[in-house]
Amino acid sequence: DQQVKQNSPSLSVQEGRISILNCDYTNSMFDYFLWYKKYPAEGPTFLISISSIKDKNEDGRFTVFLNKSAKHLSLHIVPSQPGDSAVYFCAASAGSNYQLIWGAGTKLIIKP
Amino acid sequence: SAVISQKPSRDICQRGTSLTIQCQVDSQVTMMFWYRQQPGQSLTLIATANQGSEATYESGFVIDKFPISRPNLTFSTLTVSNMSPEDSSIYLCSVESSLGETQYFGPGTRLLVL
């Protein structure tokens, strides 16, 4: 059973518009969430994280929203740029164990 | 999708010793990858392991320090040799999807070297 789900394998967005990537989780013990970006042939790059004591964290064009009651988080990228085309992974962990549970990724394509 | 397990999930080791991390996948895959995530940093690719051939190491990583085995299409091991506190990190294995469009990650092995 997947504890972290990214239900959209791919997403296509016009340059300049907002990209919204979604992630759902089932384990209520998760209290730390991370987003990674991955280009082909490279390792994933950390983007932004959020702990369960917050419902929003912002870093430049990237904002992560956490809805604990719905067990849902989303990553907003605005405005979207061509360099944002990549695969985005959501990951979660529970407590100090820090064992990460990964989503399957969403491929974001930014159209010019 | 692929389900990946790693053993151990965490360990505390003394400097100078070695630890072997196991990675098991529930399906046959050609390429497996080993990553390291040091505290506060992004994932860094250590090496790519193909079944039946020697692993390919990234710059800064050598076989003597991180020997890798890939005996079959569902299993791989990474050994962290002669450990020092600088090796304290999370080590992850991953595999590519069959279409090569995404990667699946194991849960990671958290290593602390004293």
Mean pLDDT of B84-97: 90
- Please list, in sequence order, all residues whose beta carbon lies within 8 angstroms of the beta carbon of residue A72, skipping any fewer than 6 positions away: A22, A23, A24, A25, A66
Mean pLDDT of A81-100: 82
- For residue B42, pLDDT beyond 70: no
Choose among A2, A42, A107: nearest Cβ to B102: A107
Chain B nearest-CA residue for A100: B107
Q: For residue A39, how many other CB atoms are within 10 A of its CB?
A: 12
Chain A nearest-CA residue for B1: A104
A contacts of B92 (beta carbons < 8 Å)? 100
**Rounded Cα distance, A25 and A63, in Å:** 18
Mean pLDDT of A55-75: 97
Test B105 with A91 for CB contact under 8 angstroms. Answer: yes
**Rounded Cα distance, B7 and A98, in Å:** 15
Residue B86 forms contact with A (CB below 8 Å)? no
**In this structure, what are the phi and psi dihedrals at residue A32, rounded to the nearest 5 degrees?**
-145, 130
**Rounded Cα distance, A9 and A3, in Å:** 16
**Rounded Cα distance, A32 and A25, in Å:** 12
B contacts of A97 (beta carbons < 8 Å)? 9-10, 110
Mean pLDDT of A39-53: 82
How is chain B split among helix, strand and coil, in percent rounded to 5?
5, 50, 45
Test A105 with B108 for CB contact under 8 angstroms. Answer: no
Mean pLDDT of A80-104: 83
Check residue B2 and give its pLDDT.
81
- For residue B28, pLDDT beyond 80: yes
Residue B104 forms contact with A (CB below 8 Å)? yes
- For residue B101, pLDDT beyond 80: no
**In this structure, what are the phi and psi dihedrals at residue B38, rounded to the nearest 5 degrees?**
-80, 155
Residue among A18, A5, A7 nearest A110 (CA): A18
Mean pLDDT of B45-52: 88
Residue B5 forms contact with A (CB below 8 Å)? no
Burial tier of B106 (Cβ tally within 10 Å: 0-12, 13-18, 19+): buried
Asked which of B45-54, B76-85, B92-101 is least confident by mean pLDDT, the reply is B92-101
- For residue B97, pLDDT beyond 60: yes
Check residue A95 and give its pLDDT.
67
Chain B nearest-CA residue for A42: B45
Test A107 with B92 for CB contact under 8 angstroms. Answer: no
Check residue B106 and give its pLDDT.
86
